[in-house]
Amino acid sequence: MKKTLITGAAGFLGSHLCDRFIAEGHYVIGMDNLITGDLKNIAHLFPLENFEFHHHDVSTFVHLEGELDYILHFASPASPIDYLKIPIETLKVGSLGTLNLLGLAKQKNARILVASTSEVYGDPLVHPQSEEYFGNVSPIGPRGVYDEAKRFMESITMAYHRHHGLDTRIVRIFNTYGSRMRLNDGRVVPAFMGQALRGEDLTVFGDGSQTRSFTYIDDQVEGIYRLLMSDYVEPVNIGNPDETTILEFAQEIIKLTGSDQKIIYKELPKDDPLQRQPDISRAKEVLGWEPKVHRSEGLKKVYDYFKSLSPEELQKKEHRDFSNNS
């Protein structure tokens, strides 16, 4: 039985990856410090014999007994609101956390896949973004704490590959949505759906002309799984090229939810990228991967998920209190 460590296991992507690797017959070790995640995302795995959980901050030394075949490093705040509130933790987990996990991979002779992001392209001047594009990132802007940590993550991962011959993979994830996102994490899909469900107006930042390309969770997990199992070492974009403006997206959510909410406009956050669309030629060529789930179908599924939450959870609008973590 293959043994796989997944960091960020109690988060949105990490919990879905735990499900997938367990379904593939792996013994899964989930690790998380619960800073933005929630144990309820993996509660269903606790009774299983091939799952164990370690409550641990991966920015400090990571020790595990026994052999390990794979590591998936997904621990990191991912919502702009989260990483702006915990900037130092974000920098640490992308840098020190990655260093610790690369060290562990080297010690165990394990293959490691690290979760990078379309944010390494910053506010891109090339469109759509292919893996060859170096990006347009402000190191000292507010988003720099996330973007530069992820850029460092990629650099040190390639250094371990080139210098130590470590077996590494880098996925550049584009905006992904699905069940288990925190309703109040500030990201646009839960934000708009929560607003629609509570009967509030939808908050579009700026004039809504900025674009994003949204990927459904099942497509993302499939791409990550294929990349890990491939022999491809360079970064690979995994995302859905179906691009929309945020204003059109808000209108789409209003239509889907059948609500008669209005759209209100708020200030565009600093350095919010104006356009984003993955060039997925590489994923198609080396992984035979492309997204299968159309946005209308994926959004309906995630809306059903948010609708099934308790009224208390739906009304919980305040953002997570990070005061104990700093």
Active-site residue set: 146
Q: Which CB sits closer to ligand UDP, 205 or 322?
A: 205
Residue 246, interface with ligand UDP (CB under 6 A)?
yes
Which residues are within 8 A (CB) of 242 and not within 5 positions of it... i.e. 6 or more apart? 213, 214, 291, 294, 295
Q: Tell me which of 36, 59, 76, 210 binds ligand UDP, using CB under 6 A.
A: 210
- β-sheet bridge partners, residue 169: 113
Partner from ligand UDP, ligand NAD, none binding residue 8, C-beta < 5-8 Å depending on class: ligand NAD
From residue 118, alpha-carbon distances to 20, 142, 153, 190, 287 in Å are 23, 16, 13, 19, 18
Partner from ligand NAD, ligand UDP, none binding residue 14, C-beta < 5-8 Å depending on class: ligand NAD
Q: Write out the binding residues for ligand NAD, residues 114-143 only, by CB under 6 A.
A: 115, 117
Q: Which CB sits closer to ligand NAD, 201 or 290?
A: 290
Q: Tell me which of 101, 173, 197, 224 binds ligand NAD, using CB under 6 A.
A: 173
Q: Write out the binding residues for ligand UDP, residues 60-99 only, by CB under 6 A.
A: 79-80
Which region among 23-31, 100-108, 200-208, 285-293 touches ligand UDP (by CB under 6 A)? 200-208
Least separation in angstroms between CB 147 and ligand UDP = 10
Least separation in angstroms between CB 143 and ligand UDP = 8
Q: Write out the binding residues for ligand NAD, residues 67-96 only, by CB under 6 A.
A: 74-78, 93
Which region among 15-23, 151-159, 198-206, 234-242 touches ligand UDP (by CB under 6 A)? 198-206
Which residues are within 8 A (CB) of 304 and not within 5 positions of it... i.e. 6 or more apart? none
Residue 212, interface with ligand UDP (CB under 6 A)?
yes
Instruction: Give the integer Cα–Cα distance in Å for 180 and 165.
Output: 36
Which residues are within 8 A (CB) of 101 and not within 5 positions of it... i.e. 6 or more apart? 5, 7, 58, 62, 71, 73, 112, 114
Residue 10, interface with ligand UDP (CB under 6 A)?
no
Residue 220, interface with ligand UDP (CB under 6 A)?
no
Partner from ligand UDP, ligand NAD, none binding residue 135, C-beta < 5-8 Å depending on class: none
Partner from ligand UDP, ligand NAD, none binding residue 124, C-beta < 5-8 Å depending on class: none
For residue 62, what are its two tokens? 């990571």
From residue 102, alpha-carbon distances to 46, 52, 105, 160, 169 in Å are 27, 21, 5, 7, 11
For residue 29, what are its two tokens? 């070790």
Instruction: Give the integer Cα–Cα distance in Å for 169 and 154.
Output: 9
Residue 141, interface with ligand UDP (CB under 6 A)?
no
Which residues are within 8 A (CB) of 248 and not within 5 positions of it... i.e. 6 or more apart? 208
For residue 15, what are its two tokens? 């919990």
Interface with ligand UDP (CB under 6 A), residue total 15
Distance from CA of residue 40 to its chain's centroid?
18
Point out which residues bind ligand UDP (CB under 6 A): 79-80, 175, 186-188, 191, 203-205, 210, 212, 246, 269, 272
